[in-house]
Amino acid sequence: MKPLFTLFGVPVRIEPMFFLIPLLSLSSRDLASAAVWTGLVFSGVLLHEFGHALTMKRFGFAPSITLHGLGGLTHFPRGAQPTPRQRFFITLAGPGAGLALGSLVFLAQRLVPQPAPLVSLALADALWINVGWSVVNLLPILPWDGGLVLDAGLEWATGKRRDRVVALTSIVGGGAIVALAFVTRNILLGYFGGMGLLQGYGRLKGPQTPPAANWWERIHAGEDVEKELEAGLRAETDPAQRAYLAELLAWARMRKRDFEGARRAVKQMGPFVPSLSLRARLAAADNDPDTVLALLSPEGAASDTDLPLLVSALLSRERFDDVVKLGRKVPLIADLAATRLFGEKAFAQALELCTAERARTGQGRFAYNEACCYARLGRLDDAVTALQQAKTLGCAELAGLRTDEDLEPIRDRPEVQALLNG
């Protein structure tokens, strides 16, 4: 699913199930107060996730947000490895944002004398959503923010992971909340505590899979790790880790050109959003260059490894001038872009890039490529001049001058013959 909108540079995706719980308020409220509750839930959860996301951006990561059936998730980019200190502050910023807004709501309650009934209800709802939920979320129970803050804080303070402490705290706290949910017959409270029990038990058992940081190197090295990742997914209980392993599995299958298998792996990510790179490659596998362009064209969206895919998508839509702009802006891709433009018979645009790269690098091979472009454009005198410049700059490609079909129109010229015989 594509992001619905982008705010402060953060893409936000909203699943339809997000509005299910707020809309259940219709069973106990009239339409106006239910609409107020739904709007406040939306803004409160979004504010909470932006607390995470903007702090993540402050530490140099590129976050994305998903609002799903039971709240929201803020995702690190693929391969991110934040430090315990960074995780501590990023996690704390979510409930921190809610508490900050809740303080303003509390102030408004005191400053607004005798508000209208609907306004009074909205202020009370906003106080509960931003303060009540934040306080509950800060209980030291996994996988909620309080448990993650405890996890990161202990590792930051001691320099070691304290899985047993975090697990036991989560089990005890989760068990207490399940008991309370049983007494109060509160299903959501039971879910909250049950997740704490499950996550605590999973953490107590210890890690189920090898360190995730090693997977990328193994996949890129061409190792067949599919069965290991499948086993890891079956054993893993942490939702974020499951999503990470599912994305790794999708990449492993992509390497084998098993695109359907990669899509099945993505479905196992649950509410987490696949990385932009993975989505772009799946779109390319579907022969959907427009989606590739929508994902990779925004400023800074494409990583270095995404750039060839972006070039291919631009070429498929004959956006040759945009390929030139990309090549001039990102020298890393300029050589490939020029070659691909030439292959598409966009000789004028290929020439522009070759000229720019020859001026930037001083390398003779770009002058040689300029000559090929000039010859294809029928500018034969310029082609000869470019070949002479390639000779001056030093160019190994001149060895192919005798057989290069692109330069056939000028091969019999005396100046070119002199280069051949020299």
pLDDT in tens, 112-144: 777 778 778 778 888 888 888 888 888 888 878
Q: Which of 113, 138, 163 is the last residue of a domain?
A: 138
Q: Which of 90, 116, 138 is the last residue of a domain?
A: 138
**Quick one: three-class SS letters along the chain?**
CCCCEEECCEEEEECHHHHHHHHHHHHCCCHHHHHHHHHHHHHHHHHHHHHHHHHHHHCCCCCEEEEECCEEEEECCCCCCCCHHHHHHHHHHHHHHHHHHHHHHHHHHHHCCCCCHHHHHHHHHHHHHHHHHHHHHCCCCCCCHHHHHHHHHHHHHHCCCCHHHHHHHHHHHHHHHHHHHHHHCCHHHHHHHHHHHHHHHHHHHCCCCCCCHHHHHHHHCCCCCHHHHHHHHHHCCCHHHHHHHHHHHHHHHHHCCCHHHHHHHHHCCCCCCCCHHHHHHHHHHCCCHHHHHHHHCCCCCCCHHHHHHHHHHHHHCCCHHHHHHHHHHCHHHHHHHHHHHHHCCCHHHHHHHHHHHHHHHCCHHHHHHHHHHHHHHCCHHHHHHHHHHHHHHCCHHHHHCCCCHHHHHHCCCHHHHHHHHC
pLDDT digits (tens, 9 = 90+) for 220-272: 777 888 888 888 888 776 677 788 888 889 999 998 899 999 999 998 887 77
Q: How confident is the model at residue 42 (pLDDT cuts 50, 70, 90)?
A: confident
Q: How confident is the model at residue 314 (pLDDT cuts 50, 70, 90)?
A: very high
Q: Considering its fold, how many domains does the chain have in total?
A: 2
Indicate the residue type of 99: L
Residue 241 inside a domain? The answer is no
Please give the Cα distance from 285 to 181 (Å, whole number). 47
Residue 299 inside a domain? The answer is no
Residue 272 inside a domain? The answer is no
The confidence score (pLDDT) of residue 3 equals 56
Alpha-carbon distances of 74 from 65, 132, 272, rounded to whole Å: 4, 20, 8
Residue 407 inside a domain? The answer is yes
Residue 129 inside a domain? The answer is yes
pLDDT digits (tens, 9 = 90+) for 160-200: 778 788 888 888 888 888 888 788 877 767 777 788 888 78
Q: In what order do the strands lie in the sheet with 64-68?
A: 5-7, 10-14, 64-68, 71-75
Q: Which of 265, 278, 374, 239 is nearest to 79 (CA)?
A: 278
- Read off the pLDDT of each residue in 40-65 and give the average, rounded to a whole number: 84
Range in 206-210, 260-264, 374-378 the model is least confident about: 206-210
Q: How confident is the model at residue 206 (pLDDT cuts 50, 70, 90)?
A: low
User: 352 pLDDT exceeds 90?
Assistant: yes
The confidence score (pLDDT) of residue 211 equals 47
The confidence score (pLDDT) of residue 70 equals 65
Please give the Cα distance from 144 to 63 (Å, whole number). 18
User: 1 pLDDT exceeds 70?
Assistant: no
User: 342 pLDDT exceeds 90?
Assistant: yes
Q: Is the peptide bond before 22 cis (omega within 30 degrees of 0)?
A: no
User: 317 pLDDT exceeds 90?
Assistant: yes
pLDDT digits (tens, 9 = 90+) for 267-298: 888 777 788 888 899 999 999 999 999 888 87
Residue 216 inside a domain? The answer is no
**Residue 354 structural domain:** 318-422
User: Mean of the per-residue pLDDT values for the chain?
Assistant: 83
Contact 175, 164 (CB under 8 A): no
The confidence score (pLDDT) of residue 349 equals 96
User: 414 pLDDT exceeds 70?
Assistant: yes
The confidence score (pLDDT) of residue 389 equals 92
70 token code pair: 């039971």
- Read off the pLDDT of each residue in 40-51 and give the average, rounded to a whole number: 86
Range in 261-270, 328-337, 368-377, 391-400 the model is least confident about: 391-400
Q: How confident is the model at residue 213 (pLDDT cuts 50, 70, 90)?
A: very low
User: 208 pLDDT exceeds 70?
Assistant: no
Residue 3 inside a domain? The answer is yes
Q: Which of 138, 153, 174 is the last residue of a domain?
A: 138
Residue 173 inside a domain? The answer is no
The confidence score (pLDDT) of residue 209 equals 45
User: 46 pLDDT exceeds 80?
Assistant: yes
Range in 16-20, 225-229, 349-353, 373-377 the model is least confident about: 16-20
